[in-house]
């Protein structure tokens, strides 16, 4: 089973904090560990809970996001950080790079851009965990994926809203057959199978045969997050 990437949202603006929380929940393979409105709150969460990724604003009311990163590194916390901020001056960007921030996303942005950054990070994480050592070409490919995320568009014929709806049903009601999922979502069975193929290829859904009567077994799909 693929483990979800536990994500901490650090954002002082309540509207943006809620938007970023919802954005994270819409990206397959990610879940929100918590939302922190200050640097001190973020440090408390990180000291108490297992977090894989921090989405970090630079401008916080009690400290800068960079100061928060410095505190984390000083206490030996190597949690991955993506800066999600309106700060775009060169000294801030250079400081972020020096602190090991893996990506830098400038506000404002659309969900498709946000999703592409998180998907690129997920690919980076999977590749980095798949082997103890890397060849030069493998390392270059991993780092290139972080620097140049793949296009955010879904395959032709798939819609983001339908994908989100199907994922929500699978998370709460699986295992389901393609027909059962289609009925719950109000989508045709052939269309539902296309989305299931997409999710299965990304290892977010697993399919297993179900035997219950004469004839061919049915395939049931389980959310793998």
Q: What's the rounded mean pLDDT across residues 57-72?
A: 95
Compute the distance between CA of residue 61 and CA of residue 190 in angstroms, rounded to an integer.
51
Q: What's the rounded mean pLDDT across residues 96-119?
A: 88
Would you report the helix, strand and coil content of the chain in percent, each value rounded to 5? 50, 20, 35
Check residue 110 and give its pLDDT: 83
Percentage of residues in the chain with pLDDT exceeding 70?
A: 91
| Mean pLDDT over each residue of the chain, to the nearest integer | 87
Check residue 149 and give its pLDDT: 56
pLDDT band at 202 (very low <50, low <70, confident <90, very high): confident
Compute the distance between CA of residue 52 and CA of residue 46 in angstroms, rounded to an integer.
10
Tell me: pLDDT of 203 over 90. Answer: no
**pTM exceeding 0.85:** no
What beta strand segments (E) does the chain contain?
5-10, 30-36, 53-56, 80-85, 103-106, 176-177, 205-210, 218-223
Tell me: pLDDT of 24 over 70. Answer: yes
Check residue 108 and give its pLDDT: 85
Check residue 124 and give its pLDDT: 83
Q: What's the rounded mean pLDDT across residues 19-41?
A: 94
Compute the distance between CA of residue 87 and CA of residue 117 in angstroms, rounded to an integer.
17
């Amino acid at each position: 089973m693929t483990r979800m990437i536990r994500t901490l949202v650090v954002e002082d603006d309540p509207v943006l904090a809620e938007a970023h929380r919802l954005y994270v929940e819409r990206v397959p393979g990610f879940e929100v560990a918590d939302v922190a409105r200050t640097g001190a709150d973020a440090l408390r969460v990180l000291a108490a809970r297992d977090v894989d990724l921090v989405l970090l604003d630079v401008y916080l009311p009690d400290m800068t996001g960079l100061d928060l990163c410095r505190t984390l590194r000083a206490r030996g916390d190597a949690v991955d950080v993506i800066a999600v901020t309106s700060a775009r001056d060169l000294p801030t960007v250079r400081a972020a790079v020096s602190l090991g921030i893996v990506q830098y996303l400038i506000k404002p942005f659309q969900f498709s851009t946000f999703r592409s950054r998180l998907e690129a990070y997920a690919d980076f994480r999977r590749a980095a965990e798949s082997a103890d050592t890397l060849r030069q070409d493998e390392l270059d490919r991993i780092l290139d994926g972080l620097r140049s995320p793949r296009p955010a568009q879904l395959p032709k014929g798939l819609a983001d809203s339908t994908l989100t709806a199907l994922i929500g049903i699978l998370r709460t009601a699986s295992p389901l057959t393609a027909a059962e999922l289609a009925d719950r979502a109000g989508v045709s069975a052939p269309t539902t199978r296309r989305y299931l193929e997409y999710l299965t290829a990304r290892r977010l859904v697993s399919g297993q045969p179900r035997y219950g009567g004469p004839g061919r077994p049915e395939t049931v799909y389980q959310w793998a997050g």
